[in-house]
Amino acid sequence: MPTRESLVIYARSVAHSYASMSMDDRAAFLKDMYEKTVVGKKYNWTHNVGYGTDLDALRQGKWLRKDGRPGGTTVASEGTSWCGIFATYCLRAVGVPAQWGLLTGIDAPKNMLERRSGYYTPDDIGPGDICVVKENQHHFIVHGRAGKKLHSYDGNLSGQMIAAGHRHLARRRQASVRLRQKRRRTRAGAVEQIQFFLLQDAVI
């Protein structure tokens, strides 16, 4: 049964194992992650048309290109950021049948992923929440909080790493967050939901 705790545990296990992987193993893991998670786009893993393959790109720590040309890129604006793909992959691993659309982001059953809006305080954010920084649409999974500092597991960090990170919440004012609330119920009653935040100006 999906819970916020299980999401944190799985994200932690991936971050720890990824740190010790060889470049070939990381490329194979990322390929598997893309194939299981991304819909509406196919990658050219093995066919070399003069630019190299997409699997080669992952081995070299490059982003896969948004325009679909194989061989990858080192230019961030031309590449497919995969922090949200990582969050979606973790959701799937704990039992939420989520998918990632390159134009739509995380797509999951509305009765399994709560989307909040309105206003929030830092105390509303906790372990197991998936936050999105509006400025660059960076997704991260919160695993802890110390005051106004959020501790997280992130994909698409420097060097294509999956690792622990952190964010400081701004103090200047409360930030608005998108909300569509759905409640999931089973025969056993209410089930703890994984929460999804869109942080607009709250992270610096």
Mean pLDDT confidence for 183-203? 53
At residue 4, φ and ψ (nearest 5 deg) are -65, -40
pLDDT digits (tens, 9 = 90+) for 38-70: 998 888 898 777 778 999 999 988 899 888 888
**What stretch of H or E contains 138?**
strand 138-146
pLDDT digits (tens, 9 = 90+) for 71-104: 889 998 898 889 999 999 999 999 999 999 877 8
CA–CA separation, 122 and 129 (whole Å): 12
Global pTM value: 0.84
Facing residues of 176 across strands?
Answer: 119
Model confidence at 176: pLDDT above 50: no
